[in-house]
Structure 1
Amino acid sequence: MNWEKLLCEKRQTRSKYPSKKDLRNEFQKDYHRIICSASFRRLQDKTQVFPLDKSDFVRTRLTHSLEVSSFAKSLGQTSFQYLIDKNIDSELTTEIKDNVCSILECAGLLHDIGNPPFGHFGEDSIRNWFEANLTKIEFDGTTLDRYLDEQMKSDLLRFEGNAQALRLLTKLHYLVDENGMHLTYALLNTLIKYPISSCEIDKHSGNIKTKKMGYYLAEKELFEDITSSTGAAGCRYPLTYLLEAADDIAYLTADIEDAVKKGFLSYDQLLEELRSEKYISKCADEDERKNYTNMIDWLETKYQNAKAKKIANPELNAVQNWVISIQGNLLYCASYGFTRNYRSIMEGTFTKDVLSVSRGNALSKALGGIAYEYVFRSKPILKMEISAGNIINFLLDNFIPAAIHYDTEVKLSPMEDRLMCMISENYRQIYTIYSEGKSDKEKLYLRLLLVTDFVCGMTDSYAKRLYQELSGIE
């Protein structure tokens, strides 16, 4: 791969009226389109970890995305300046570095744009619903699991927010036409974290690119056009590694801070867990162990400083200050992992994430493990997830059967007709455009995606309110 091709400015269509007075580069134009979009604004009502939470402290998808955007841009600046200073790649210039930073800044804003309401549990709920119902729902005299092609079924059974993001950005954002936001291919390829179809997923391959899917069958041709245009066909786009690291650092540190703030985790519990051998033993060598123990020392120092200043809540103050410190530490580690493996990344042969090959690996594993034990498996979160699951199930229970015979010769019942009218007119128009000339099987597949498009576009509050209204609670 080379940067002349990787920084592809191609869009699905070009503007008919380009402005000669517009001094922005193509990637800066992407930033403006994102910030001004309704899809981006809706992230303010999609929570990051605590579904249906009323606190104004914890991260929403919007604030998380802003953090990821900042971290990603910082990683681009640090990593590419190092590559330039050390002359590791003679092709690199300051202009390329600036373009890389612009792309990463935009990608951070968009990396969660396709996620449904209620966090990752929303994704699980959609997958679980199709797992339970594809064998029950019939069309044309047979059940959907027999009627649909293998990848069509797999797209539904392995539903993925990353693939939904590509669909949203290139089709569903129907403001000007059916080509979405008209973003550059370089940006879109950065967002395709897993350059494989749902049928190629292999979580045990040892290669991170096969962990999940990156596109639906409905976007296959577009996916192939994007990856071939950037020269990244068959492998991960290089900037994806930095975007992924920024996301990991943001949520790993934020989950700990939010957990302490909300009382799920105390300062003493955090310190005890960090000192546990189950996490220290994950250090691969002396350098990693030294970095890990230094981080523990930092936490204790922050606490002592807060006590000395007679701060009212020294435990929380210590954790919040510590989180800022470890963010800096992990950003350095991620940059090191990227630059050290730059050659294999550019060759498309690197198979891991950049944090895992740095001395920040053990710390990141510890943060993730602690958050899982004290937050994600806590009773309050489990109760809220059950509530969220019930909402998703209710919506799919009602809208999927209504969509089965939509746009067919079969007459919908009055209730089914009303339900289909509830779906965004823009989404229904996109279905009409892209289903034209397709077979009955392809149209059915697109109608099923129409419903998941509708659900994924909902905010937490809207999904909850619609559930209450349609079930007669309000």
Structure 2
Amino acid sequence: MVTIWSDWRVGETPGAEEQPSREGLRSRFQQDYDRLLFSTPVRRLSDKTQVWPMDANDGVRTRLTHSHEVANLARSIGTRIYGAQSQLFSGVDLHQVIQPMLSAIGLAHDLGNPPFGHQGEAAIGRWFELRKDWIFTNHGKGSRGLPVSIPDEMHPEFLKFDGNPQTLRLISKLQTNIAHLGLDLTTATLVAAIKYPVSAANRDKNNKIAKKYGYFESERALVERLRSDTGLAEGQRHPLTWIMEACDDIAYSVLDVDDAMKKGVISPDDVLASLRADDKTKSHEAVRKAQTKFEEIECAGRRPELARDIKIGYLRAYFIDALIEHASRGYVLAGKAINAFSHRTPLMDDSDLCDKLKELARQHAFGNPGVLRMEAYGAEAIDGLMSAFWDAIHDRPTEDFENILARRSGAKSKYVFALISQNYIEDAARSAQAPGIAGSVRYRELRLLTDMLSGMTDSFAIKLWDDVKDMQ
């Protein structure tokens, strides 16, 4: 049966009458969450940047804590919406379907991000930008042309590298599985994890859910299978994806500011003063409640350092509650359009409070000199590692050009190639059988390169670069 709540797995063949087998008391969506929770890519998030790269303060968020918080927020919002209008979810079970799906896609949403967050994405894109005059068409700079070039419409997969499609690739293909199915999640969970439901060729800067691409050419056949099971088409977003996106915005706006306060970059009093000074937020209920509570805290006679931490806790609680309510209300109001796939505006786009907090995060967290310094060092490491891994991947005898598994020619190339995960190498070799460009050797080389770089943690990338650059 075709349904956006399909609990078939990709390796199964749905039938008109049969139902997937159930293992124990857990639904397949609960199993999806568990498979993600215990996976290696989730553990690696503990050493990937949220805002503060490789920070010594253990109270500051990593991508792992951020992802757990997004999963928690998504489950909370889904529960509120279900309580208000359960019919928006086609009457499916809250505990067996909605909550575990939201927990799963919230936990998974950043798995494809490279080290050093969005600056890591930009560094990968810059590396390709500097080589775009030959890397998609020629063997090397100034050398002969490739048997099969990468078409222009696919260049953004590399020039505008993005962690979102890498997430789908990681959980559906790159994790080891006897049938090469990654974590073998349900088709509904996989399709709900696609934030931007279009290919690179179909990006539309005027459409907020299609402004970026959500899957690589290498996963086109998978996406077609997901859509066959769920009934979704190109450009149609799963309803739960709207909630996951809103929760990422809430976490970014509130919790990144929370980290800046914990580090002493900005005080809770400064945050509140900024909100009270802005005409768009000064009358917000959460701001008024925080002001009242701050006055109570100051009258309580607590030591300044303790009063500061108490204030931070109240700001976080009031702001999260306000934004959860905003997202929930927005979903209920837009529910019919969301289910009809005609809705286009993210749930938090009309939240002045969310916008102001994002502005504070950009100013005091992402714009902090310490963050910028570490991002610059990380960008240098990514650039150098990409060059080293590219040389190793491409260093094969001419007669073995089509065989990615061929023996490397130079000693350094042999060493660097040996560092690449066997999961990634296996996929690059197996994908020679993929149809179209995805099976071409250059496309597979470049996917192998970005698989390796995006899979690294921050400290591993720095340590490996310190090792490899000494061999230059």
TM-score with structure 1 setting the length: 0.89
Match of 2:16 in 1: none
Match of 2:463 in 1: 465
1:116 matched to 2:106? The reply is no
Off by >3 Å, runs of 4+ in structure 1: 18-21, 140-144, 405-408, 436-441
Residues 431 and 332 (structure 1 numbering): CA distance in 2 closer, same or farther, change over 3 Å? same
1:315 Cα deviation after fit: 3.0
Structure 2 CA distance for aligned equivalents of residues 94 and 438 of structure 1? 37
1:454 Cα deviation after fit: 0.8
Structure 1 CA distance for aligned equivalents of residues 23 and 368 of structure 2? 55
Match of 2:25 in 1: 23
What are the within-5 Å matches in structure 2 for residues 248-397 of structure 1?
A: 248-277=249-278, 280-281=279-280, 290=283, 292=284, 294-312=285-303, 313=305, 314-357=307-350, 361-397=351-387
Contact 1:162 1:215 in 2 (8 A): yes
Residues 200 and 94 (structure 1 numbering): CA distance in 2 closer, same or farther, change over 3 Å? closer
SS at structure 1 position matched to 2:378: helix
Structure 2 CA distance for aligned equivalents of residues 267 and 21 of structure 1? 49
1:182 Cα deviation after fit: 0.3
Match of 2:7 in 1: 9
- Corresponding residue to 1:414 among 398, 411, 416: 411
1:257 Cα deviation after fit: 0.8
Q: Which has the higher helix share?
A: 1
Residues 19 and 83 (structure 1 numbering): CA distance in 2 closer, same or farther, change over 3 Å? closer
Structure 2 residue identity aligned to 1:246 = C
Contact 1:154 1:198 in 2 (8 A): yes
Bigger mean CA deviation after superposition, 324-333 or 441-450: 441-450
Residues 268 and 95 (structure 1 numbering): CA distance in 2 closer, same or farther, change over 3 Å? closer
Structure 2 CA distance for aligned equivalents of residues 231 and 186 of structure 1? 10
Match of 1:179 in 2: 181
Match of 1:236 in 2: 237
Residues 142 and 57 (structure 1 numbering): CA distance in 2 closer, same or farther, change over 3 Å? farther
Match of 2:404 in 1: none
What are the within-5 Å matches in structure 2 for residues 117-266 of structure 1?
A: 117-135=115-133, 137=135, 138-139=138-139, 141-142=143-144, 147-203=149-205, 205=206, 207-234=207-234, 235-266=236-267
Structure 2 CA distance for aligned equivalents of residues 417 and 438 of structure 1? 29
1:47 Cα deviation after fit: 2.2
Structure 1 CA distance for aligned equivalents of residues 145 and 308 of structure 2? 57
Structure 2 CA distance for aligned equivalents of residues 437 and 6 of structure 1? 27
Structure 1 CA distance for aligned equivalents of residues 71 and 435 of structure 2? 39
1:20 Cα deviation after fit: 6.5
1:242 Cα deviation after fit: 0.5
SS at structure 1 position matched to 2:93: helix
Encode CA deviations 1:350-406: one digit per residue, 9 max, x unaligned: 00011224xxx0000000011111221221111111011011111111111322355
Structure 2 residue identity aligned to 1:53 = D
RMSD: 2.4
Structure 1 residue identity aligned to 2:338 = I
Contact 2:10 2:181 in 1 (8 A): yes
Structure 1 residue identity aligned to 2:388 = N
Contact 1:106 1:187 in 2 (8 A): yes
Percent identity between the two aligned chains:
33
SS at structure 1 position matched to 2:349: helix
Equivalences, count = 449
Contact 1:70 1:105 in 2 (8 A): yes
Encode CA deviations 1:124-170: one digit per residue, 9 max, x unaligned: 111111111222544173478x9321233221011110100000011
Structure 2 CA distance for aligned equivalents of residues 26 and 70 of structure 1? 19
Match of 2:71 in 1: 69
Contact 1:394 1:467 in 2 (8 A): yes
Structure 2 residue identity aligned to 1:424 = S
